[in-house]
């Protein structure tokens, strides 16, 4: 029954994961030279969050195995197998299929469509009315909590079928024309052999039967006493006065032998044990609700406990109806266990990933909202938790965390590029908001197929899954962005990279300093050797050695200076500084290098330009680093197909939105998508080993942050790079 949902579930979820990958691939393809580069860039960005999304969904599904019901466990096993298959296909078949699609057929989608406009409005809502948004979400959560108090856990097999189905009609026909469909067995145990051979004890069965016949929902009761009366009646030529129980033990023994002869041993065993110590009373009922079964059980227990005639008897109550009723209790306990386990495990994954308890709670809160609203709507709408609907909470939170992980990873990436939280929120929501919405729509479309089922639990499962998915999307795009504005996001990979960078610092410094130091040592060794030999050193040779030593000293000083700039704090003296003057000063130093390179320098500096508050020398350091990178990028394209393009350096300054902007563009070698993501990391360089120090942009980023500025970079391989600086105006 439950496992029939698995194929639809796997298809819907698999399609949703593919949408995230395809969305990123469409962004990467236009700027890539071939399919392999586009695929590497795509999986470099969404590979890890996709893997973690599958992992969290697996956790949600796997937690269902904590439920004791076999049907739920089977659903968990089959679904987990399907999710593992999806994971393998995402990282094997999906790249292979993308590699055969020509890049020319892939065009970037317009960002100003209706969906883009919706995302823009959401961004403005977060930035301008964040408190109102969170207040509305809190009110929704309160409404959901109130609805939970109306929630009912009940399993009713008859109501599994809609009222127009033949199964539903025939159930009612059976209990109206016959004697009910759901039996209950009441077992009287005398705790001693031959207990019911005593006529007074046998009479207790009839007394119990008289009470049980009066219970609501019980259509008929059948007991060993009924059949014994019938045997007595038939062996005495069907005389009405013999339709009674025997009054002597020997008569009972004789009738029991006749019972076995006339009706068979099997019929005897159905109602009486071989040692005559236990007797079974069969209740034919037309009950189907687990709640009604439990109420009937409680009334029977109360009667036998209070009636003095049954002292010393042990009462057992069982049957299909009570098994169904007990399953409801198991559903409730299993739901609590699986949901708690899911929350704990997913919190653990996010905590280990981002090394922050705060981020763990922030990520779980918007995903806990759909669970609250799901149960709240279930209570308000009158749905009942059954075998299938009880699965939803763990599945929903596993799927809801998927979008949260994609958002957190992209937000971390955008924040590393630009430390402005508002700008990082805008770029993140505009980039991942679209696939988040599309995956939700896809999942809902997949689960909507289940609504057409005439089997109510399957239909309700589809409805509630759609509700859960939409509320999960609501949490991810309405709550998570606002909460993340107050959270510093650092992943375990950032910490590992930091450790790696610290290891590289010593290696890089040693490598960079060893070269000039070795050259200096060689020069000094040569001079010392000539002195020891008492040989005259030619003036030209001495001049060349001295020049080399001086050059290497300058090189070592530059390395040390850059390292000091990298670690320098923001407490250097600041003053009002004209950005255009800093650009002209630095360009004056490097003008000769660009002329030798045949680079056309195009200056477009707005005049007059209001000053910014910064340290003049540090501002020059930023511009010097950027111009140096531009010069080196145009040197790198020599000997490549891009060498035929002219070398052009454009520098543009202007004022916009109370900020000063400086744009530096070159037609150099450019960078790939993966290089762009790491370009601000200290000691990361795109140059050959030993040629680059990897500190220029890291230093520039640190300086810009110190002055409340931002640095943005756009680049395409073999087409060029544009770096944009913007500063706040001096108040």
Paired residues of 69 in beta bridges: none
Query: Each residue of 346-367: b (16+ CB within 10 Å) or e?
Result: bbebbbebbebeebbebbbbbb
For residues 373 and 451, membership in a common domain is answered with yes
Q: Residue 97: pLDDT above 80? A: yes
For residues 312 and 240, membership in a common domain is answered with yes
Give the pLDDT band of residue 94 (cuts 50, 70, 90). very high
Q: Are the beta carbons of 331 and 387 closer than 8 angstroms?
A: yes
287: Cβ contacts below 8 Å, ≥ 6 apart: 180, 182, 217, 293, 296, 321
- Strand 278-285 with 182-189, pairing: antiparallel
Report the range of poorest mean pLDDT among 35-39, 341-345, 684-688.
Answer: 684-688
* DSSP H helix total and E strand total for the chain: 24, 13
Cis peptide before 608 (omega within 30 of 0): yes
For residues 673 and 593, membership in a common domain is answered with yes
Which tokens belong to 309? 């005639």
- 221: alpha, beta or left, given left = phi > 0 and alpha = psi -120 to 50? beta
φ/ψ (deg, to 5) at 663: -115, 130
What integer pLDDT is reported at residue 492 of this predicted model? Answer: 47
Cα–Cα distance measured from residue 228 to residue 259, given in angstroms and rounded to the nearest whole number: 7
H or E segment to which residue 362 belongs = helix 357-381
Cα–Cα distance measured from residue 231 to residue 234, given in angstroms and rounded to the nearest whole number: 5
What integer pLDDT is reported at residue 331 of this predicted model? Answer: 67
pLDDT tens for residues 632-686?
889 888 888 788 889 999 999 999 888 999 999 999 988 877 677 777 766 566 6
For residues 304 and 444, membership in a common domain is answered with no
What integer pLDDT is reported at residue 602 of this predicted model? Answer: 94
Q: Are the beta carbons of 19 and 33 closer than 8 angstroms?
A: no
Where helices occur in 637-679 by DSSP H, the ranges are 673-678
Paired residues of 662 in beta bridges: 653, 725
Q: Are the beta carbons of 43 and 69 closer than 8 angstroms?
A: no
- End-to-end CA gap in the chain: 69
Residue 635 lies in a domain: yes
Q: Residue 506: pLDDT above 60? A: no
Q: Residue 500: pLDDT above 50? A: no
For residues 395 and 307, membership in a common domain is answered with no
Residue 450 lies in a domain: yes
pLDDT tens for residues 242-260?
888 888 888 888 989 999 8
Q: Residue 570: pLDDT above 60? A: no
Give the CATH number of the domain where residue 695 resides: 3.30.565.10
452: Cβ contacts below 8 Å, ≥ 6 apart: 459
Paired residues of 649 in beta bridges: 601, 666
Q: Residue 306: pLDDT above 50? A: yes
Which tokens belong to 165? 């189905």
For residues 343 and 455, membership in a common domain is answered with yes
Residue 613, classed as helix, strand or coil, is: strand
Cα–Cα distance measured from residue 582 to residue 105, given in angstroms and rounded to the nearest whole number: 45
For residues 580 and 722, membership in a common domain is answered with yes
Domain stop point among 441, 457, 490: 490
Q: Are the beta carbons of 580 and 620 closer than 8 angstroms?
A: no
Residue 28 lies in a domain: yes
Cα–Cα distance measured from residue 598 to residue 608, given in angstroms and rounded to the nearest whole number: 30
Average pLDDT on 460-483 reads 85
Burial of 629 from C-beta contacts in 10 A (0-12 / 13-18 / 19+): buried
Residue 498 lies in a domain: no
Q: Which residue has the higher pLDDT, 561 or 311?
A: 311
Paired residues of 286 in beta bridges: none
Domain stop point among 275, 295, 318: 318
For residues 259 and 347, membership in a common domain is answered with no
For residues 539 and 584, membership in a common domain is answered with no
Domain count, the chain: 4
Q: Residue 700: pLDDT above 80? A: yes
Q: Report helix, strand and coil shares of the chain as percent, to nearest 5.
A: 70, 10, 20
Q: Are the beta carbons of 667 and 646 closer than 8 angstroms?
A: yes
DSSP letter assigned to residue 712: E
Cα–Cα distance measured from residue 290 to residue 347, given in angstroms and rounded to the nearest whole number: 35
Report the range of poorest mean pLDDT among 454-468, 597-611, 658-672, 682-696.
Answer: 682-696
For residues 312 and 335, membership in a common domain is answered with no
Residue 171 lies in a domain: no
What integer pLDDT is reported at residue 518 of this predicted model? Answer: 65
Neighbour tally for 12: CB within 10 Å: 22
Residue 339 lies in a domain: yes
For residues 141 and 216, membership in a common domain is answered with no
Cα–Cα distance measured from residue 710 to residue 701, given in angstroms and rounded to the nearest whole number: 7
Average pLDDT on 572-600 reads 84
DSSP letter assigned to residue 450: G
Give the pLDDT band of residue 187 (cuts 50, 70, 90). very high
| pLDDT mean across residues, the chain | 80
Residue 544, classed as helix, strand or coil, is: helix
Domain stop point among 318, 341, 375: 318
Q: Are the beta carbons of 77 and 2 closer than 8 angstroms?
A: no
φ/ψ (deg, to 5) at 418: -140, 110
Q: Are the beta carbons of 684 and 602 closer than 8 angstroms?
A: no
What integer pLDDT is reported at residue 10 of this predicted model? Answer: 86
What integer pLDDT is reported at residue 447 of this predicted model? Answer: 83
Q: Which residue spans within 524-656 are E strands per DSSP? A: 575-577, 599-605, 612-614, 647-656
Which tokens belong to 39? 């695929």
pLDDT tens for residues 392-405?
777 777 777 788 88
Q: Which residue has the higher pLDDT, 475 or 680?
A: 475
H or E segment to which residue 183 belongs = strand 182-189
171: Cβ contacts below 8 Å, ≥ 6 apart: 158, 181, 288
φ/ψ (deg, to 5) at 605: -100, 125
Residue 597, classed as helix, strand or coil, is: coil
Residue 714, classed as helix, strand or coil, is: strand
What integer pLDDT is reported at residue 538 of this predicted model? Answer: 74
Q: Residue 553: pLDDT above 60? A: yes
For residues 297 and 356, membership in a common domain is answered with no
Residue 650 lies in a domain: yes
Report the range of poorest mean pLDDT among 158-167, 662-671, 709-718, 721-730.
Answer: 158-167
Which tokens belong to 333? 């306990």
Read off the pTM: 0.60
Give the CATH number of the domain where residue 78 resides: 1.20.1640.10
Average pLDDT on 364-369 reads 78
Domain that holds residue 543: 506-557
Residue 141 lies in a domain: yes
């Amino acid at each position: 029954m439950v496992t029939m949902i698995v194929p639809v579930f796997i298809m819907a979820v698999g399609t949703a994961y593919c949408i995230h990958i395809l969305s990123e691939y469409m962004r990467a393809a236009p700027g890539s030279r071939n399919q392999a580069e586009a695929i590497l860039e795509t999986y470099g960005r969404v590979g890890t969050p996709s893997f973690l999304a599958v992992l969290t969904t697996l956790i949600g599904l796997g937690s269902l195995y904590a439920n004791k019901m076999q049907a739920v466990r089977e659903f968990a096993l089959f679904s987990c197998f399907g999710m593992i298959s999806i994971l393998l296909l995402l990282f094997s078949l999906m790249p292979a299929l993308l590699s055969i699609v020509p890049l020319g057929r892939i065009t970037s989608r317009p960002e100003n469509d209706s969906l883009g406009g919706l995302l823009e409005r959401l961004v403005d809502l977060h930035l301008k009315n964040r408190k109102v948004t969170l207040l509305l979400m809190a009110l929704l959560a309160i409404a959901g909590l109130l609805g939970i108090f109306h929630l009912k856990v009940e399993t009713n097999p008859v109501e599994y079928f809609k009222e127009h189905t033949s199964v539903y009609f025939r159930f009612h026909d059976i209990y109206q024309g016959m004697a009910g469909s759901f039996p209950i067995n009441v077992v009287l145990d005398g705790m001693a052999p031959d207990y019911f051979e005593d006529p007074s004890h046998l009479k207790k069965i009839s007394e119990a039967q008289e009470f049980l016949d009066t219970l609501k929902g019980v259509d008929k009761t059948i007991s060993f006493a009924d059949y014994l009366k019938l045997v007595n009646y038939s062996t005495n030529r069907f005389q009405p006065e013999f339709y009674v129980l025997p009054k002597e033990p020997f008569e009972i023994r004789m009738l029991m032998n006749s019972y076995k002869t006339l009706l068979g041993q099997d019929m005897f065993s159905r109602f009486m044990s071989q040692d005559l110590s236990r007797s079974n009373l069969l209740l034919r009922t037309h009950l189907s609700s687990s709640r009604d079964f439990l109420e009937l059980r409680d009334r029977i227990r109360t009667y036998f406990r209070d009636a003095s005639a049954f002292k010393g008897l042990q009462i057992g109550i069982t049957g299909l109806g009570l098994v169904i009723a007990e399953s409801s209790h198991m559903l409730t306990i299993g739901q609590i266990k699986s949901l708690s386990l899911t929350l704990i495990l997913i919190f653990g994954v996010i905590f280990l990933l981002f090394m922050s308890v705060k981020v763990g709670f922030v990520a779980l809160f918007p995903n806990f909202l759909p669970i609250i609203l799901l149960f709240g709507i279930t209570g308000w709408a009158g749905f009942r938790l059954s075998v299938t609907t009880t699965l939803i909470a763990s599945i929903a939170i596993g799927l809801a965390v998927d979008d949260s992980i994609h958002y957190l990873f992209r937000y971390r990436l955008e924040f590393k590029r630009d430390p402005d939280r508002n700008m990082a929120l805008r770029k993140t929501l505009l980039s991942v908001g679209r696939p988040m919405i599309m995956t939700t729509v896809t999942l809902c479309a997949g689960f909507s197929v289940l609504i057409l089922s005439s089997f109510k639990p399957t239909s309700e499962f589809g409805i509630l899954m759609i509700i859960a998915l939409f509320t999960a999307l609501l949490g991810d795009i309405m709550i998570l962005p606002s909460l993340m504005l107050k959270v510093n996001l650092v992943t375990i990979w950032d910490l590992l990279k930091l450790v790696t960078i610290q290891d590289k610092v010593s290696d890089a410094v040693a490598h960079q300093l060893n070269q000039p130091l070795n050259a200096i040592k060689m020069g000094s060794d040569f001079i010392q050797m000539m002195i020891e030999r008492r040989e005259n050193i030619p003036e030209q040779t001495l001049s060349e050695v001295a020049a080399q030593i001086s050059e290497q000293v300058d090189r070592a000083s530059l390395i040390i200076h850059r390292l000091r700039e990298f670690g320098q704090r923001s407490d250097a003296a600041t003053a009002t500084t004209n950005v255009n003057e800093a650009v002209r000063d630095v360009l004056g130093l490097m003008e000769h290098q660009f002329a030798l390179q045949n680079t056309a320098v195009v200056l477009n500096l707005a005049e007059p330009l209001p000053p910014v508050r910064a340290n003049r020398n540090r501002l020059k350091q930023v511009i010097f680093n950027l111009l140096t990178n531009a010069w080196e990028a145009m040197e790198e394209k020599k000997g490549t197909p891009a060498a035929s393009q002219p070398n052009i350096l454009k520098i543009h300054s202007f004022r916009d939105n109370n900020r000063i902007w400086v744009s530096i563009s070159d037609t150099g070698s450019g960078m790939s998508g993966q290089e762009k993501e790491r370009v601000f990391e200290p000691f990361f360089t795109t140059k050959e080993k030993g040629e680059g120090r990897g500190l220029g942009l890291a230093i520039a980023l640190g300086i810009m942050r110190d002055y409340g500025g931002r640095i943005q970079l756009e680049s395409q391989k073999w087409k060029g790079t544009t770096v944009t600086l913007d500063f706040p105006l001096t108040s």
